[in-house]
């Protein structure tokens, strides 16, 4: 068969091509480019002879096909076939192969078929590459970042890079031709960037070649290098060359063995170390790779989070980078996977950031340095370097907590450092164990009772099922240190910034780390009536608990961290739920009314509240178990290596119960279902229905019983701004009542002398209608002033104002509250809370009251600072008598009024006091000699004699003389509390000796309680029963008994007000001794912390309810609490500032608020976290904003300062990290 020939060129066209010098393809192209007319003619010839040319070309290529020797030439042949002729060419080749087989030329047929198959495969490869390049080109056009462009380039095969670059360049030209200049410019810019990347890669390849040449030199360096040098060498080796490098090094070691054995051995040591490090890295790489595979395959967020929990901490950063890289790889092809990975990455990164922030808290860093110091001398240097951080009690408390949590092998060393820190701080010595609280025992007539013996450890509570609500009694609000969050985790930050779930997650992890195992309730025939419940201490000691034990433990930990739990009880199972809306400070809210007296029995109502208002948690989840029924939720999801659930799985298990595994009590449970019995609102039961937490106490006869206890803790934050505009009420005088006086001798002669002194001044009222009573501490000045006020109540028909001042009444600002009190009586006590008065205004109001209602008496008790009462003196009108008591003769002189110098008790007063304290039994004795002797031994000092007589009153009348002689003997010895550090102005020897006798007569509990009253605010500040209960850590019933005991011993005074609960006050002398004793026993810091925490919590509760004015009577205690907190507990100080601000602004203590905020900022800058610094700046901004409205202030300057403080806080608070704090600060601006 004759092959088709190429058609001949027309003679004139051939002549013109020859004239143009055309001899090959290159000269043909040049000629056509130079002569457009020639190009048109040549193109017309090709088009007219297209089929003939294609056929001729096909025939030539078919003839050459069997002889093509290799793939490269075969592919070159295929490139010469026009795309529209590919199918015809392959069909013709198949026909030739068939013809060869028919003719018997099997060799030719085989050769043709082999090449046909290769061409078909090459054709498919070209089509695939074409599609890949087209897709890459589309992605390039859509690329918006360098990252997008780099991802496109990574997906282009190396052998197609040049083709792709050419395609990109052609696309840019084509876009320009079609008028899309903007896209053309983008594509051209991408072309330039990709060309640069290609050049960098080629440079890298050249670098690799040079590195390969360097390997031999590095091997020599490795043998001679030190450890750092080895690291430098190894870090220069690319990952892909590590294996060749190690082989070269081994080869070099074999060579050196013949000439330098020592160097060879050293080189082999280096090789072994590097090989081991490489294997460890590869192992870590495998762990990260497997973790990434698990993460991609994780069906739920819970499973994804478990991957993070199982990951070693040192691989977290590597793993996060791997997730980021994987997201970039899959986001084009699998957007769902990319989104899941992105969400998991965000959560994991946030957790890592939060952990790092906690570890970076100044106190944590300082304590770490203190603990890591090699010796005590080094630790002392660390203390001196970080003194402003390690001096506060919060550092000591954190380290003491760490001692309790430390592993056994480390506890002794950490305890030694804790003792060293206590010594360096000059703080309390290690505190003694607290005696077990017991009711006041009955004393016999011959001797005082000794301290109660310790109670044996109690392992179980007994729950009587007849009253389900009594379960609340077994959930305390105080937990051991091991169950408190570590110092680097701030509970308030978690609550405010991330919510209840974030705090719950931390608490669940804390419980899961305790190593507790699930335990089945042992068989008990009485289980239907009663059930034993392990105490928290027993659970921690035995490392096991039933579902009820574990649920109560979980609820207790929640309460200790300000959360509000529910206990959900089923037939045979118990779990918990935690409110996402309520806290201990704000226990009210939606859903509370569904609980009848703290208990809910309607399953549908419970389900309605779950999810919306509560987060349920399966409490067996934090305990290990391999035996629970997998048909029920508590048995599933324990695939962790330790047999415990993750937090997310524990939540889901509880939700599964609520969704499908619980039926109403009157329904028949199906398979894997349980009957719902009831749910308990623990906080409501404890606070409102009398089921207060139980503590073990001693009763006579070593019987055990449960008493109620309470726990208060600082925390939380709220800012409430009220703008109240009220018209003044109608004017109506409310006569102030004279103070109550009980249990004192009348001292009639003294009262008459003082009253007469006031009366005889009637003709000179304007200039000096006043009298001062001056005398030593404890001699009876206050009692005398009260007696005078009571005796003269009929004389002063307008009423009697009685105001205890004390040493802390220092500034004129504090007088504003008394001025308000005086003014309020002019309006029947109904004065708006936000109204202030000038002294002149009050003087006018009181003058009118005196004109209408008669004379008025003003008593200022215990004056220390003259400038503090100047506004009161200015406000005193004509007709108002003034009676002042003071210890200072100089103060009486400054008042420029006659003074009455009160002396010790006279004979009649001594007899009156004996009769008052010893009663009718003493009256029958007449005047026994020992009476005068005993009175003389105490110097006839009123307080000292009162203390001794109350001590004598505890024994029978038949041994009074015997006991009096014993007391006289001890008084002769003159022993007080030697060695006590107490200020000399507060030291009174006669009281001290009497007090020691009375103190020795107390039992251990009573002594401790007396000492701990030393943390109350000085001097003579009142306090409530609840405050004492919080400091003493016992329930209010027991507290009242102990307060009565101390009152009976003349160590405390009760203050009665009609219609109000009793309050208490301690004489400043007694408080001074109590504080000194407290310090000596090493108990002061912990008691002061409880005092500050109680008043912070009380203030927070009142402020949240906008009843802050109810705490006004405790303002001296609040000041005292802040003074301690600012030095020892910055977080508590910030809490006090925030919650006391409304009270201070409403009651003219705004300058206190500003001073507190300035102190807090200074402390935060010295030892606080960024969040605490921001918190302090916001508090300062709020205080400055209020200060701008105070008299004498530069309003503009103060407001500019406030704005600067807010702006500084906003550099820390951002909308992304703490949206709530950010929004509140922006609002305050």
Q: If DSSP states are collapsed to H, E and C, what string results for 971-1035?
A: HHHCCCCCCCCCCHHHCCHHHHHHHHHHHHCCCHHHHHHHHHHHHCCCCCCCEEHHHHHHHHCCC
User: Cα 1160 to chain center, whole Å?
Assistant: 18
pLDDT digits (tens, 9 = 90+) for 704-717: 333 333 222 233 33
Q: How confident is the model at residue 70 (pLDDT cuts 50, 70, 90)?
A: confident
Q: Which two tokens stand for residue 3?
A: 């092959």
Other beta carbons within 10 angstroms of residue 528's beta carbon come to 8
CA distances for 222 relative to 239, 242, 261, 282, angstroms: 17, 13, 15, 22
Q: How confident is the model at residue 205 (pLDDT cuts 50, 70, 90)?
A: low
Asked if the model's pLDDT at residue 734 lies above 50, the reply is: yes
Work out the average pLDDT over 327-334.
87
CA torsion through residues 145, 146, 149, 150, sign: negative
Q: How confident is the model at residue 475 (pLDDT cuts 50, 70, 90)?
A: very high
Q: CB neighbours of 272 closer than 8 A, spacing ≥ 6? A: none
pLDDT digits (tens, 9 = 90+) for 353-370: 776 666 667 888 888 889
Q: CB neighbours of 765 closer than 8 A, spacing ≥ 6? A: 878, 879, 881
pLDDT digits (tens, 9 = 90+) for 229-255: 666 667 767 776 777 777 777 887 888
769 φ, ψ to 5°? Answer: -80, 60
Tell me what pLDDT residue 439 has. 41
Q: How confident is the model at residue 982 (pLDDT cuts 50, 70, 90)?
A: low
* C-beta of residue 1052 within 8 angstroms of C-beta of residue 1066: yes
Query: What are the b/e assignments for 994-1025, b being 16+ CB within 10 Å?
Result: bbbbbbebbbebbbbbbbbbbbbbbbbbbbbb
DSSP single-letter state for residue 827: B
Q: How confident is the model at residue 949 (pLDDT cuts 50, 70, 90)?
A: confident
Q: Which of 617-626, 832-841, 999-1008 has the lowest mean pLDDT?
A: 832-841
- Distance, CA of 737 to CA of 212 (rounded, Å): 101
Asked if the model's pLDDT at residue 182 lies above 50, the reply is: yes
Q: Which of 533-547, 1045-1059, 1111-1125 has the lowest mean pLDDT?
A: 1045-1059
Tell me what pLDDT residue 980 has. 57
Q: How confident is the model at residue 443 (pLDDT cuts 50, 70, 90)?
A: very low
Which bin fits 562, alpha (ψ -120 to 50), beta or left (φ > 0)?
left
Pairing state between β 694-699 and 799-804 = unpaired
Work out the average pLDDT over 258-285.
81
Q: Which of 211-215, 548-552, 602-606, 826-830 has the lowest mean pLDDT?
A: 211-215
Work out the average pLDDT over 1050-1070.
82
Q: CB neighbours of 1036 closer than 8 A, spacing ≥ 6? A: 708, 710, 1025, 1026, 1029
* C-beta of residue 230 within 8 angstroms of C-beta of residue 274: yes
Tell me the average pLDDT of the chain: 80
The share of the chain scoring above pLDDT 90, in percent, equals 24
Could you tell me where the beta strands, DSSP code E, fall in 509-557? 517-518, 530-534, 544-545
Q: How confident is the model at residue 521 (pLDDT cuts 50, 70, 90)?
A: low
CA distances for 113 relative to 1, 78, 108, 970, 1125, angstroms: 20, 15, 9, 128, 94
pLDDT digits (tens, 9 = 90+) for 690-702: 777 754 333 233 3
Other beta carbons within 10 angstroms of residue 454's beta carbon come to 10
Burial of 195 (0-12, 13-18, 19+ CB in 10 A): middle
- Block residue for tokens 């002594």: 1007
- Distance, CA of 1004 to CA of 454 (rounded, Å): 11
Tell me what pLDDT residue 1031 has. 94
Tell me what pLDDT residue 702 has. 33
Tell me what pLDDT residue 3 has. 59
Q: Which two tokens stand for residue 299?
A: 């069906």
User: When comparing pLDDT for 1018 and 483, which is higher?
Assistant: 483
Work out the average pLDDT over 551-562.
92
DSSP codes, 211-228: HHHHHHHHHHHHHH--HH
* C-beta of residue 982 within 8 angstroms of C-beta of residue 1082: no
- Distance, CA of 665 to CA of 654 (rounded, Å): 18
- Distance, CA of 1120 to CA of 998 (rounded, Å): 28
Tell me what pLDDT residue 8 has. 85
pLDDT digits (tens, 9 = 90+) for 650-691: 999 999 999 888 998 878 888 888 999 999 999 988 877 777
- Block residue for tokens 């009665």: 1056
Q: How confident is the model at residue 495 (pLDDT cuts 50, 70, 90)?
A: low
Q: CB neighbours of 482 closer than 8 A, spacing ≥ 6? A: 404, 405, 514, 540
Q: Which two tokens stand for residue 195?
A: 């060309």
Tell me what pLDDT residue 932 has. 83
Work out the average pLDDT over 940-965.
79
Tell me what pLDDT residue 1009 has. 94
Domains in the chain with CATH codes: 362-425 (no CATH), 462-692 (no CATH), 748-903 (3.40.50.300), 1083-1229 (1.25.40.10)
- Block residue for tokens 């769902």: 336
Could you tell me where the beta strands, DSSP code E, fall in 360-505? 460-464
CA angle 261, 267, 271 (to 5 degrees): 140
Work out the average pLDDT over 929-933.
84
Asked if the model's pLDDT at residue 24 lies above 70, the reply is: yes
Asked if the model's pLDDT at residue 1092 lies above 80, the reply is: yes
Q: Which two tokens stand for residue 225?
A: 């290098």
Work out the average pLDDT over 420-446.
58
- What's the half-sphere exposure (Cβ side, CA atoms, 13 Å) at 1201? 18
DSSP single-letter state for residue 834: T
- Distance, CA of 1033 to CA of 371 (rounded, Å): 31
Burial of 1042 (0-12, 13-18, 19+ CB in 10 A): buried
- Distance, CA of 664 to CA of 668 (rounded, Å): 8
User: When comparing pLDDT for 357 and 282, which is higher?
Assistant: 282
Ordered alpha helix ranges (H), 794-862: 815-824, 839-853
CA distances for 956 relative to 750, 919, 929, 952, 1048, angstroms: 32, 12, 18, 8, 16
Work out the average pLDDT over 454-476.
69
User: When comparing pLDDT for 647 and 1222, which is higher?
Assistant: 647
Q: How confident is the model at residue 272 (pLDDT cuts 50, 70, 90)?
A: confident
Asked if the model's pLDDT at residue 965 lies above 80, the reply is: no
How many residues comprise the chain? 1229
Work out the average pLDDT over 1068-1084.
82
* C-beta of residue 198 within 8 angstroms of C-beta of residue 160: no
DSSP single-letter state for residue 482: G
Q: How confident is the model at residue 221 (pLDDT cuts 50, 70, 90)?
A: low
9 φ, ψ to 5°? Answer: -70, 145
Q: How confident is the model at residue 494 (pLDDT cuts 50, 70, 90)?
A: low
């Amino acid at each position: 068969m004759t092959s088709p020939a190429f058609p001949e060129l027309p003679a004139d066209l051939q002549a013109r091509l020859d004239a143009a010098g055309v001899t090959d393809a290159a000269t043909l192209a040049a000629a056509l480019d130079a002569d457009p007319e020639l190009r048109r003619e040549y193109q017309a010839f090709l088009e007219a002879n297209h089929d003939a040319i294609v056929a001729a070309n096909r025939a030539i290529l078919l003839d050459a096909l069997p002889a093509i020797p290799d793939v490269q030439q075969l592919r070159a042949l295929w490139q010469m076939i026009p795309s529209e002729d590919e199918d015809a060419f392959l069909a013709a080749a198949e026909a030739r192969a068939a013809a060869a087989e028919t003719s018997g030329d099997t060799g030719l047929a085989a050769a043709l078929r082999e090449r046909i198959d290769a061409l078909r495969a090459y054709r498919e490869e070209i089509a695939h590459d074409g599609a890949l390049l087209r897709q890459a080109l589309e992605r390039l056009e859509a690329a918006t970042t360098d990252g997008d462009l780099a991802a496109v380039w990574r997906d282009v095969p190396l052998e197609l890079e040049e083709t792709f670059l050419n395609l990109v360049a052609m696309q840019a030209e084509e876009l320009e031709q079609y008028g899309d200049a903007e896209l053309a410019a983008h594509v051209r810019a991408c072309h330039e960037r990709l060309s640069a990347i290609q050049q960098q890669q080629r440079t890298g390849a050249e670098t690799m070649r040079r590195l390969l040449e360097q390997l031999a030199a590095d091997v020599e360096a490795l043998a001679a290098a030190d450890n750092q040098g080895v690291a430098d060498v190894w870090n220069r080796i690319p990952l892909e060359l590590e294996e060749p490098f190690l082989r070269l090094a081994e080869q070099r070691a074999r060579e050196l063995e013949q000439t330098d054995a020592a160097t060879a051995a050293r080189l082999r040591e280096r090789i072994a170390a590097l090989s081991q490090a490489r294997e460890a890295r590869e192992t870590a790489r495998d762990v990260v790779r497997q973790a990434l595979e698990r993460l991609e395959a994780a069906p739920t967020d819970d499973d994804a989070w478990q991957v993070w929990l199982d990951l070693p901490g040192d691989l977290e950063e590597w793993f996060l980078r791997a997730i980021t890289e994987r997201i970039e790889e899959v986001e084009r092809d699998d957007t769902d996977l990319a989104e899941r990975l992105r969400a998991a990455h965000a959560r994991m990164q946030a957790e890592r950031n939060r952990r790092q922030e906690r570890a970076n808290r100044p106190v944590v860093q300082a304590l770490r340095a203190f603990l890591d110091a090699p010796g005590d001398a080094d630790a002392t240097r660390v203390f001196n370097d970080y003194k402003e951080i390690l001096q506060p009690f919060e550092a000591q408390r954190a380290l003491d907590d760490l001692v309790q949590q430390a592993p056994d092998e480390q506890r002794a060393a950490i305890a030694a450092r804790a003792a060293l820190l206590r010594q360096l701080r000059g703080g309390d010595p290690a505190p003694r164990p607290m005696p077990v609280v017991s009711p006041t025992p009955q004393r016999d007539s011959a001797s005082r009772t000794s301290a109660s013996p310790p109670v044996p450890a109690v392992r179980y509570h007994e729950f009587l099922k007849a009253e389900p609500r009594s379960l609340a009694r077994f959930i305390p609000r105080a937990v051991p240190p091991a169950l408190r969050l570590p110092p680097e985790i701030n509970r308030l930050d978690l609550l405010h910034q991330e919510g209840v779930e974030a705090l719950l997650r931390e608490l669940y992890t804390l419980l899961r780390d305790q190593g507790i195992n699930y335990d089945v309730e042992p068989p008990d025939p009485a289980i239907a009536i009663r059930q034993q419940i392990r105490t928290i201490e027993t659970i921690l000691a035995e490392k096991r608990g039933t579902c009820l034990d574990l649920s109560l433990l979980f609820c207790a930990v929640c309460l200790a961290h300000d959360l509000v739990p529910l206990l959900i009880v089923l037939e045979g199972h118990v779990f918990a739920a935690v409110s996402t809306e309520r806290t201990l400070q704000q226990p009210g809210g939606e859903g509370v009314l569904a609980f009848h007296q703290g208990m809910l029995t309607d399953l549908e109502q419970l389900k309605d509240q779950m999810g919306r208002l509560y987060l349920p948690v399966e409490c067996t989840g934090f305990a290990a178990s391999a035996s629970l029924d997998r048909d029920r939720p508590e048995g599933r999801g324990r695939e962790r290596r330790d047999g415990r659930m993750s937090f997310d799985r524990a939540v889901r298990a509880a939700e599964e119960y609520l969704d499908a595994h619980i039926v109403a009590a009157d329904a028949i449970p199906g398979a894997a279902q349980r009957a719902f019995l009831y749910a308990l609102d623990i906080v409501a039961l404890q606070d409102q229905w009398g089921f207060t937490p139980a503590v073990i106490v001693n009763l006579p006869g070593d019987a055990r019983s449960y008493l109620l206890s309470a726990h208060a803790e600082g925390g939380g934050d709220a800012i409430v701004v009220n703008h109240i505009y009220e018209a003044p009420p109608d004017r109506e005088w409310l006569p102030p009542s004279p103070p109550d006086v009980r249990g004192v001798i009348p001292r009639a002669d003294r009262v008459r002398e003082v009253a007469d002194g006031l009366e005889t001044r009637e003709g000179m009222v304007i200039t000096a209608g006043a009298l001062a009573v001056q005398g030593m501490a404890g001699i009876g000045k206050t009692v005398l002033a009260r007696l005078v006020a009571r005796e003269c109540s009929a004389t002063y028909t307008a009423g009697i104002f009685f105001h205890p001042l004390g040493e802390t009444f220092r500034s004129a600002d504090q007088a504003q509250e008394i001025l308000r009190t005086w003014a309020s009586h002019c309006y029947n006590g109904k004065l708006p809370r936000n109204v202030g008065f000038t002294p002149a205004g009050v003087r006018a109001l009181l003058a009118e009251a005196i004109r209408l209602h008669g004379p008025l008496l003003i008593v200022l008790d215990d004056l220390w600072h003259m400038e503090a009462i100047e506004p009161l003196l200015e406000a005193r009108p004509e007709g108002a008598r003034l009676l002042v008591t003071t210890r200072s003769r100089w103060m009486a002189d400054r008042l420029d009024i006659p003074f009455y110098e009160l002396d010790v008790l006279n004979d009649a007063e001594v007899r009156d006091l004996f009769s008052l304290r010893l009663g009718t039994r003493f009256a029958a004795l007449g005047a026994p000699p020992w009476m005068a002797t005993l009175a003389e031994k105490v110097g006839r000092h009123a307080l000292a004699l009162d203390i001794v007589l109350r001590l004598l009153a505890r024994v029978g009348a038949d041994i009074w003389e015997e006991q009096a002689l014993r007391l006289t003997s001890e008084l002769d010895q003159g022993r007080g509390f030697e060695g006590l550090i107490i200020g000399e102005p507060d030291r009174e020897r006669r009281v001290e000796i009497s007090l020691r006798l009375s103190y020795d007569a107390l039992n251990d509990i009573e002594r401790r309680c007396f000492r701990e009253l030393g943390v109350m605010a000085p001097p003579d500040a009142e306090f409530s029963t609840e405050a004492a209960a919080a400091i003493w850590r016992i329930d209010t019933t027991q507290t009242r008994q102990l307060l009565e005991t101390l009152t009976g011993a003349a160590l405390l005074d009760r203050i009665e007000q009609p219609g109000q609960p009793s309050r208490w006050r301690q004489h400043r002398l007694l408080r001074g001794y109590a504080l000194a004793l407290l310090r000596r026993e090493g108990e002061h810091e912990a008691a002061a912390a409880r005092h500050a925490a109680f008043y912070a919590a009380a203030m927070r509760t009142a402020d949240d309810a906008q009843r802050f004015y109810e705490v006004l009577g405790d303002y001296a205690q609040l000041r005292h609490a802040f003074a301690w907190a600012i030095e020892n507990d910055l977080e508590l100080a910030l809490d006090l500032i925030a919650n006391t601000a409304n009270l201070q602004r409403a009651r003219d203590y705004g300058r206190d608020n500003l001073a507190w905020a300035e102190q807090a900022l200074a402390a935060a800058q010295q030892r606080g976290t960024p969040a605490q610094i921001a918190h302090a700046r916001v508090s300062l901004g709020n205080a400055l904003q209020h200060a701008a409205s105070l008299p004498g202030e530069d309003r503009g300057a103060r407001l500019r300062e406030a704005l600067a403080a807010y702006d500084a806080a906003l550099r820390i608070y951002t909308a992304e990290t703490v949206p709530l704090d950010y929004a509140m600060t922006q609002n305050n601006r």
